[in-house]
Structure 1
């Protein structure tokens, strides 16, 4: 991730949950909060309700890779927390990627090039 860092501390997650704006679709919930550092920080949360550790880790990797490959389209300067819902359990990479982009567009932090439309 060139333009982003990971959000790791529980305190940072709690700030985004309390002060951020959330939107959801069937697979993901995305909380977004503007930060002051000029970089995006991405946090990913997968509950034990979703599945065992193998399933949770797989979904985390899918979300992180989806974000990494489309990160140049996301506006900079935001803390983003993505929560994986149980509906994402059986989804493939392209479903997770489209869900992530969909939420980015709803939050107005995803900018798509006119050439790629």
Structure 2
């Protein structure tokens, strides 16, 4: 699927390529994997484990992460694939905490303009 400013990763093999790169950082709520993709687009993959909650909770968290990414795309550089994994502690958090956690990880990766 293609949003205005980024594409989404859908296939398991795409996620595996990024996980194998082992360039990850984490905070209390999220884990972020980053890999250069050699193109002029950014791609986002979101992963929420069944350990986090039922399908309603998992889909809500995935939507929050995607929305935080979408609203910050002007600050996120092109040419990278991003996989964001939600941790169980994110379950009780809202949009603001999700966005702050994501920006924190982007800054740790030195990828937030």
TM over 0.5: yes
Q: TM-score, normalised by structure 1?
A: 0.92
Corresponding residue of 1:81: 83
Q: Is the 8 A contact 1:22 1:31 kept in 2?
A: yes
Corresponding residue of 2:36: 34
- Structure 2 unaligned residues grouped into runs of 5+: none
Question: Which deviates the most, 47-56 or 19-28?
Answer: 19-28
Alignment RMSD (CA, Å): 0.8
Q: Is the 8 A contact 2:36 2:79 kept in 1?
A: yes
Corresponding residue of 2:73: 71
After the TM superposition, which residues 42-57 of structure 1 pair with which residues of structure 2 at under 5 Å, given as runs? Answer: 42-57=44-59
Q: Count how many residue pairs are aligned between Structure 1 and Structure 2.
A: 111
Q: TM-score, normalised by structure 2?
A: 0.96
